[in-house]
Amino acid sequence: MASSSSYTNSPCAACKFLRRKCMPDCIFAPYFPPEEPQKFANVHKIFGASNVSKLLNEVLPHQREDAVNSLAYEAEARMKDPVYGCVGAISVLQRQVIRLQKELDATNADLMRYACNEIPDSHFGRRNNSGHGTGSGGSDSFGQNSGLYFSSPWNNVDPCGDSTRERGSEGNM
């Protein structure tokens, strides 16, 4: 809270807006400093000074700052969108989350399709059905004869559910 000397030098934004003398026990002074006149102007336009004063008197002192911040946020949202206020902003964000979740699901499905159907076994150091690895077949290449094994997240559990896939060289770590 500001000292009482600051009340006499500069009235709070609420008292200045309402053109009244700011008293030392002003309910608005701690929450509407003179440096933020638009904050009170918005709150006053949407809720009214009398209603804000009643609300602040009913709220416990340690909860007043949160109440004023909520009122200021809602008032600013109502100024931008008079019909929906902050509910409109919440709805936009919820739709964005739903859209992004669908996009993530589609990407995960594409990844699973890619992992199950399109990656040749030889990319992970496995021996495919034709017996060819990634190398030319020599023991010095990085193919199936080199003993190198590239781990992947689906080595132990087949995400495709394909039990007929060859799982060669899993024990060659």
Q: What is the mean pLDDT of each run of 10 residues along the chain (173 residues)?
A: 51 94 94 94 95 95 95 94 91 96 95 79 50 46 42 50 49 47
Q: What is the DSSP string of 70-88?
A: HHHHHHHHHHH-TTTTHHH
**Considering only CA atoms, which of 143, 165, 146, 144 is closest in space to residue 154?**
165
pLDDT at 4: 43
Cα Rg of the chain, angstroms? 33
CA distance 162 to 44: 66
Is the full-model pTM beyond 0.75?
A: no
* Total residues found in the chain within this entry: 173
Question: Could you give the C-alpha distances from 85 to 23, 64, 131, in angstroms and in order?
Answer: 33, 21, 66
Domain boundaries defined on the chain: 4-80, 88-118, 126-173
> Rounded to an integer, what distance in angstroms lies between the CA atom of residue 171 and that of residue 173?
6
Angstrom distance (rounded) from CA 125 to CA 85: 58
| 36: nearest Cα among 18, 13, 20 | 13
The three-point CA angle 52-58-62 to 5° equals 95
Q: What is the pLDDT of residue 3?
A: 44
At 10 the pLDDT is 87
Q: What share of the chain is helix, strand, coil (3-state, %, to 5)?
A: 50, 0, 50
